[in-house]
Amino acid sequence: MTAQRDWRGLLFVAPFLALYSLILVFPLLRGLWLSLNQVDLFGAGHFVGFGNYQRLMHDPVFGTSLINTFEVTVMIVPALTVISLLLALALNRAGKGAAVLRGIFFASAVLSVTIVTLIWRFMLAPDAGLLGEAWKAIGWAPLPFLSDPHLVLPALAITTIWWSVGFPMLLILAGLQQIPQDMYEAAALDNASGWTTFWRITVPALRRTLILVIMLQTAAQLQLFGQSQLLTAGGPSGASRTAVLFLFESAFGRWELGYASAAAEILFLIILAVTLTQYWATSRNEAGHGR
């Protein structure tokens, strides 16, 4: 009886499991296997063990791409979280005006990366771009965002923040709507200032949402690719090459599939480690709160 019931249960999840194995588990294992082989796109490779990984350790281009990835992630995630929080706070109200603005701020999120980079190429162009014109208007020399190695990562970050602000804003808005109104009324009767109410009522209530936003965005930005490829192709001189761009170039530029797979595995482990660390840090913090 029990065995039969187990078997029938399996039947219900079978379609999902089949699809999951086919498009997630299999590629994952295949990628792991590839990373242990030297292989190009046309022809069978041969097993090299951890050779690809050893080569990566000594590849300065890969090292730089990892550093670039970390830098751009650190530029994006805190700023994006704060901006989307401020937007959500400003737009968390009834009324047509707020609804229209919510739509406008979310609109950029539905654009494809191609459109986004096209728009920002115009915005950032020093001679004719909007930012250049603005700089000129105040009397400063226009900044060569996409050709200066020190400005290219901030330019990528600004583009990405503009593109991605909609979804975190939506998550935070949903979180804000979950806070019961009488909490704010109790705080008003408790003579709490706006500042106190924000820090003692709103932020603690949004805790889980903010953690989610930060974790999702960190994982997403560590995989930043399209903006870097389309805006600068990793340039100038590799200053904006991200880890995913590196593995894209290895795989589809130099056809080194095994090498690219090894880079992908390393990036996967890094994302896993960062996300788990964040999760561990925040849940430990929460347990501490409970005491």
Partner 1 sequence: MASLELQGVRKAFGATLILDDVSLSLESREFIAFLGPSGSGKSTLLRIIAGLETADAGEVWLEGRRIDTLPPGKRDIAMVFQHYALYPHMSARENMAFGLRNARVPTDEIERRVNDAAGVLEITPLLDRKPAEMSGGQRQRVAIGRALVKQPKLFLLDEPLSNLDAALRLRTRVELAQLKQKVDASVIMVTHDQAEAMTLADRIVVMNDRKIQQVGAPMEIYSRPANTFVAQFVGSPAMTLAQVTLENGGGPARVKLGDGSAVQTAVPTKGLPGGELRLGLRPEAVRVADKAATTKAKVELVERLGERTLVYARLSDGQPITAEDNAYSRLSIGDDVALAIDGASAHIFGPDGTGYHSAATA
Task: Kindly state whether residue 200 participates in binding partner 1, applying the rule CB under 8 A.
Answer: yes
Least distance between partner 1 and beta carbon 290 (Å):
7
Output 202 or 232, the one with its CB closest to partner 1: 202
Output 209 or 217, the one with its CB closest to partner 1: 209
Neighbours of 24 (CB within 10 A): 10
Q: Give the C-alpha separation, 68 to 76, whole Å.
A: 12
In this structure, what are the phi and psi dihedrals at residue 227, rounded to the nearest 5 degrees? Answer: -60, -45
Tokens of 239: 């200053």
Q: Which of 61, 74, 119, 201 binds partner 1 (CB under 8 A)?
A: 201
Q: Which of 1, 94, 138, 189 binds partner 1 (CB under 8 A)?
A: 189
Contact 278, 214 (CB under 8 A): yes
Tokens of 283: 């849940």
Task: Kindly state whether residue 55 participates in binding partner 1, applying the rule CB under 8 A.
Answer: no
User: Tokens 């959500």 map to which residue?
Assistant: 88
Q: Which of 222, 210, 116, 113 is nearest to 168 (CA)?
A: 210
Q: How many residues bind partner 1 (CB under 8 A)?
A: 20
Task: Kindly state whether residue 205 participates in binding partner 1, applying the rule CB under 8 A.
Answer: yes
Output 177 or 196, the one with its CB closest to partner 1: 196
Least distance between partner 1 and beta carbon 186 (Å):
4
Classified as helix, coil or strand, 47 is strand
Task: Kindly state whether residue 290 participates in binding partner 1, applying the rule CB under 8 A.
Answer: yes
Task: Kindly state whether residue 198 participates in binding partner 1, applying the rule CB under 8 A.
Answer: no
Q: Which of 112, 196, 237, 277 binds partner 1 (CB under 8 A)?
A: 196
Contact 212, 171 (CB under 8 A): yes
Task: Kindly state whether residue 212 participates in binding partner 1, applying the rule CB under 8 A.
Answer: no
DSSP string, 234-260: T-STTTT--HHHHHHHHHHTS--HHHH
Q: Give the C-alpha separation, 253 to 248, whole Å.
A: 7
User: Tokens 């406008």 map to which residue?
Assistant: 104
User: Among the candidate windows 85-93, 201-209, 239-247, 260-268, which touches partner 1 by CB under 8 A?
Assistant: 201-209
Q: Which residues contact 281 (CB under 8 A, 6 or more apart)?
A: none
Least distance between partner 1 and beta carbon 195 (Å):
11
Q: Which of 20, 82, 115, 190 binds partner 1 (CB under 8 A)?
A: 190
Q: Which of 17, 28, 99, 183 binds partner 1 (CB under 8 A)?
A: 183
- Chain residues in the site for partner 1 (CB under 8 A): 180, 182-183, 185-193, 196, 200-201, 204-205, 207, 289-290
